[in-house]
Structure 1
């Protein structure tokens, strides 16, 4: 596998957290050295199991298992991400701690401490990072909850806050390399903070030696600049600027760029000038929409030398936000009310059987759901590639290539079930279930006839 920077045999991501920006990344015990431990521990306060309570599972996938827990001394919630065996290496973890230590900024996720302990169901002591918890998820989850973009004043604030955060990273000679909606986390007031910036430059590439998208970084290739599709490319700061341009489009429209395009098509089209459609944006009459659209197009220019720096982006984003600043509190309140109303409606309308399907009580329950609904899943799962990417290393490279080569989602799903789910046992089927609830929750709810 090829990496843009330091080579690493496995992809590694920080932000596949359902509702969290406070993440603990854990590694297998027995691989760290005293010197490596000192590299990590001097950056932040250690946290052990004696300080954590109210553990709650909030996510699972090919990357591992994510929990939410309460830190009893600090009085705040944290999210704890346990990576699957074989996924993590210690030195990249130290690099991430070092980078976060350098990047202390209002709009960058803050490092709180280091984790040492045995998580629920674990059998050995593990090490990791503890970061602040972001109550409202990410821009990606916000788009899905709202079924579209947020109100315009919030769009403008998010655009400016991300630009400020990225400018700070670049001023510290750090690059992100994986800027996308899922890596822009939101606090209780919908303010943005950047996450997953350290390990993306150290151990995550968007391409590998087989010219396939890195399965551990779902959708990243859609935010890559045209020059990055060259095998010999080494990322520089203009990589992040291009990604910011695509991210702006996503924030403004509330959509995913190229939603049905596989990696091979994106790799072909982006270098020849294709970009997300802007017809609707051209017709917008919001305060500052013209300036934001112009900035967006400058950022995703096919020529890296023509893209602005984030320092040059700031006057534009600050001016656009200033035009809408008086309406920001009203907009945030309205969005939060909508989110709260949607959550309450879902809880009210969900039947006991649907609730049991949505949150099975064990890995066996999830695997049973997948097996019992095999025929329907093969027929109705539409987001096969997105789910496959989310499963990460649980899907072997050969199987991934076979899935990618199939013309229809039914054919793709049939290969995924036969080649990965069936052979992977309960663990992979449970990971598939969690990925399905993320990408197609309505399908899971519709299959509510299974009682556990």
Structure 2
């Protein structure tokens, strides 16, 4: 005998929070509970945008949940916690513009990504543009790069063993970078210069950020 009638399932489906939002482990709930729980986040989302208010949304959820009184009483703590989390996100004035992204994050437990940390150059610069940057900023890079040896190691086989030994033998960072330019970057073409650019982004992030602002 089915736990819920078709009509009961329909009513609960329209009001209960989806399992992805609950802190209850799926294994502890019946297949039917999982089935009727889907799609409710969208209902609450619409309710908030119709200005129903949190109290009304919670009331609707709880009244309809009487159909599943036994399961509600068993998992009320987790369900109320889930409801509160969902409504807190939807009611946040700080994240109103990004509520759709928050919905996806809640459903999939995706960690928040700080997109602002990515510069335009990280996402769009071509190999040719990176090479031009390396050429145009040659004087500043020679004077200001402080991790020349680490960058040379990052380039790997692009730097010949003899060149690496020469760089390693230099005492000043300026001389190390100057040697890298004259022995490797000048003849390496766009591919090597682009790799040098990427190595600079990794080992000299503050310097690169400053130079990119100036260009």
- Normalized per residue, the structure richer in strand is 1
| TM-score, with length taken from structure 1 | 0.22
- Normalized per residue, the structure richer in helix is 2
| TM-score, with length taken from structure 2 | 0.45
Larger Rg: 2
